[in-house]
Structure 1
Amino acid sequence: MKQSLFHAKVLLFGEYGILENSSGLSIPHNSYQGTLKFQSTSSKEFSYSNLELKKYYKFLLKKKRKNLVSLDLYKLHEDIQKGIFFHSNIPQGYGIGSSGALVAAIYEKYATNKLKKCVIKKEQKHIISLKRTFSQMESFFHGKSSGIDPLICYLNIPLLIRSKTNISTIKIPFLKGRGAIFLLDSGIPRTSSMINFFLKKLNHDKFKKILKEEFFKYNEKCIEAFLKKDFQVLLKHVKSLSAWGFHHFRPIIPEKFCKIWEEGLFTNIHYLKLCGFGGGGFMLVFTPDYDLSKEKLKQYTTEVLFRF
């Protein structure tokens, strides 16, 4: 079987907000990837993944009966019986698209009437259509999905999300400098979906108003500064975004990182923000001086995504 690799992703800006039709900027993260493969001998990874694929198959079968997805589920079921599983080094519950990569892999192998990736990348209407499909497919894992994670994992290119119906491909420059955007490993996998925390907050009109008036504004300014390569301005707006997140999302920030988060805002050494749904996994860190930040956080594992 030809094995296609599907890489992880990082949503630099727009966590939670894209579910409410705000902007986002997402990039592939090629250090982690997964692929569908067959296993002839039993292992812990195989047993767990194959069992999860059986559950996922039943979910997709219901979606197909409602004409929401177009997949060759007979072939998927057959392959599950033969021992197919998702072989991946993408950590689960870390906010970098472990479920997105799996969804992308299932679509690649079992989708019917599939367009070539080169065609999808060129026309926005195909990107939007594919995002809708991925939204349905990934809802199994999170209850509600924007479809962006599998889209990034499938196309493996940076995407600029302006709204649910306005998504375009972009190029991220390769730069060198003291500053950096990097991942900070909390060492704590997310144990459950944190999206319910956000959805409950959305039930309150006051929070929804604050989200649109403050979060959307800070988020938009961060994206604008990043695209203009104005990193001094970027850090200024990231600080506002980090402070906002600390105030409104504190219950889903791992407790031992609350002090680090708050100290960063006070000292301006670095600014933290959620990566994915929160509750554990990776966090994103923005710093004007990576060496200094790395020294301050030397007890934790860090991984650079972008230098400036």
Structure 2
Amino acid sequence: MKGPLFYSKILLFGEYGIIKDSKGLSIPYNFYNGALKTEDNTSAEAIKSNESLKKFTFYLENISSEIVTFEIDKLKEDVNAGMYFDSSIPQGYGVGSSGALVAAIYDKYALNKITVLENLTREKLLQLKAIFSKMESFFHGKSSGLDPLNSYLSLPILINSKDNIEATGIPTQSTSGKGAVFLLDSGIIGETAPMVSIFMENMKQDGFRSMLKDQFIKHTDACVEDFLKGDIKSLFNNTKQLSKVVLNNFKPMIPKQFHDLWKKGIETNDYYLKLCGSGGGGYILGFTQDFAKAKQSLKDYKLEVVYNF
């Protein structure tokens, strides 16, 4: 028996900023998914996943009852029977592989769980986010809880601030439009924890803090508002500014071999790149008003369209 599917996610806007109360917008990305499974558990991937689940179970047993209670005995029994997370979501790519796993475990083993079918008040969303944050901290050291929330609800999530989140609708995609949001595969696996610690270290500097507030968060907030309103012209102006700010101030999060490509996008206006998740590798997020042109410009790279304008 394969459990329900949980999808990957893409944080369109808000990486790093949401740690410091910027707006954010996260959308489910149904191209990748994962599910808990017990049969066919002899492959190397399944064994590795099962080993990881054993450690995760031990962690959950220790946090159980703080803000969430699990059927730990049932979970242990299933893990000992070889249960693993069968997933197509690439790890270290910024599309929420651990988030989908957390959502799947909560869905199957949490007692008195908040379900997608009930009236999702802001309080319930914040409660879910707090539970997921605690659960996902096992993988990242510090987690906002947004990835699992997105995966669990399979709805776009608008982050207004740390204590103000809501499920939202996004403008319908245009099937005939030339513009697109796309993923560019860097071919490198990124690690979240080291990137977050570089960020936290930088936050000790006054200059970095004011850049974050006056430039990074300002443009991030504007991008979220433009995207939700469907104001494409303003969205691309703000995305260009955001791309510049990231290139100038988040260099360690951009793999070295992509610095020139990043700059080329800003100079030619063929596309604008931004971080997808914490950076350091994985996917890079691209925005373009003419996907055919961007594809030509980036012909040496593998691109996947996420959203059409």
Is residue 33 from structure 1 mapped to residue 38 from structure 2 by the alignment?
Answer: no
Compute the displacement of 1:40 (Å): 4.8
Is the Cα–Cα contact under 8 Å of residues 95 and 277 in structure 2 kept in the other structure? yes
Query: Partner of 1:81 in structure 2?
Result: 80
CA distance in 2, matches of 1:289, 1:123: 39
Is the Cα–Cα contact under 8 Å of residues 192 and 278 in structure 2 kept in the other structure? no
Is residue 167 from structure 1 mapped to residue 165 from structure 2 by the alignment?
Answer: yes
Is residue 14 from structure 1 mapped to residue 14 from structure 2 by the alignment?
Answer: yes
> What residue identity is the alignment partner of 2:241?
S
Is the Cα–Cα contact under 8 Å of residues 41 and 84 in structure 2 kept in the other structure? no
Cα distance change of structure 1 residues 231 and 78 upon mapping to structure 2, 3 Å threshold: same
Cα distance change of structure 1 residues 76 and 206 upon mapping to structure 2, 3 Å threshold: same
- 1:128-173 deviation digits (Å, cap 9, x = unpaired): 1100000000011111111110000000010111012211111221
Compute the displacement of 1:240 (Å): 0.5
CA distance in 1, matches of 2:300, 2:283: 15
- Gaps of at least 5 residues in structure 2 are none
Query: Partner of 1:246 in structure 2?
Result: 247
CA distance in 2, matches of 1:271, 1:254: 16
Compute the displacement of 1:192 (Å): 5.5
CA distance in 2, matches of 1:175, 1:40: 41
Is the Cα–Cα contact under 8 Å of residues 156 and 169 in structure 2 kept in the other structure? yes
Is the Cα–Cα contact under 8 Å of residues 69 and 137 in structure 1 kept in the other structure? no
Compute the displacement of 1:206 (Å): 2.6
CA distance in 2, matches of 1:4, 1:138: 19
* Aligned 1:194-205 pairs, distance under 5 A: 194-205=195-206
Compute the displacement of 1:71 (Å): 1.4
Query: Is the partner of 1:181 in helix, strand or coil?
Result: strand
CA distance in 2, matches of 1:118, 1:31: 23
- 1:262-301 deviation digits (Å, cap 9, x = unpaired): 1111111110000011010001000111001011112211
CA distance in 1, matches of 2:9, 2:274: 16
Query: Is the partner of 1:306 in helix, strand or coil?
Result: strand
Is residue 132 from structure 1 mapped to residue 130 from structure 2 by the alignment?
Answer: yes
CA distance in 1, matches of 2:188, 2:215: 29
CA distance in 1, matches of 2:125, 2:17: 19
Query: Is the partner of 1:117 in helix, strand or coil?
Result: coil
> What residue identity is the alignment partner of 2:84?
F
Query: Identity of paired residues, percent?
Result: 48
Cα distance change of structure 1 residues 283 and 220 upon mapping to structure 2, 3 Å threshold: same
Query: Partner of 2:116 in structure 1?
Result: 117
- Gaps of at least 5 residues in structure 1 are none
CA distance in 2, matches of 1:127, 1:210: 30
Is the Cα–Cα contact under 8 Å of residues 93 and 190 in structure 2 kept in the other structure? yes
Query: Is the partner of 1:87 in helix, strand or coil?
Result: strand
CA distance in 2, matches of 1:118, 1:243: 41
CA distance in 1, matches of 2:189, 2:16: 18
Query: Partner of 1:60 in structure 2?
Result: 60
Is the Cα–Cα contact under 8 Å of residues 69 and 136 in structure 1 kept in the other structure? no
CA distance in 2, matches of 1:211, 1:186: 25
Q: Which moved more, 1:104-113 or 1:36-45?
A: 36-45
Query: Is the partner of 2:91 in helix, strand or coil?
Result: coil
**Root mean square deviation of aligned Cα:** 1.3
Q: Which moved more, 1:165-174 or 1:255-264?
A: 165-174
Is the Cα–Cα contact under 8 Å of residues 40 and 83 in structure 1 kept in the other structure? no
> What residue identity is the alignment partner of 2:255?
P
Compute the displacement of 1:123 (Å): 1.4
Compute the displacement of 1:191 (Å): 4.3
Query: Is the partner of 1:153 in helix, strand or coil?
Result: helix
Q: What TM-score do the two structures reach when normalised by structure 2? A: 0.96
> What residue identity is the alignment partner of 2:99?
G
Cα distance change of structure 1 residues 39 and 216 upon mapping to structure 2, 3 Å threshold: same
Query: Partner of 1:295 in structure 2?
Result: 296
CA distance in 1, matches of 2:64, 2:205: 34
* Aligned 1:266-281 pairs, distance under 5 A: 266-281=267-282
CA distance in 2, matches of 1:103, 1:192: 16
Cα distance change of structure 1 residues 90 and 216 upon mapping to structure 2, 3 Å threshold: same
Query: Partner of 2:141 in structure 1?
Result: 143
Query: Is the partner of 2:273 in helix, strand or coil?
Result: strand
CA distance in 2, matches of 1:220, 1:40: 46
CA distance in 2, matches of 1:299, 1:71: 47
Count of aligned pairs: 306
CA distance in 2, matches of 1:89, 1:11: 18
CA distance in 1, matches of 2:153, 2:204: 34
Is the Cα–Cα contact under 8 Å of residues 39 and 85 in structure 1 kept in the other structure? no
Q: What TM-score do the two structures reach when normalised by structure 1? A: 0.96
Compute the displacement of 1:62 (Å): 2.0
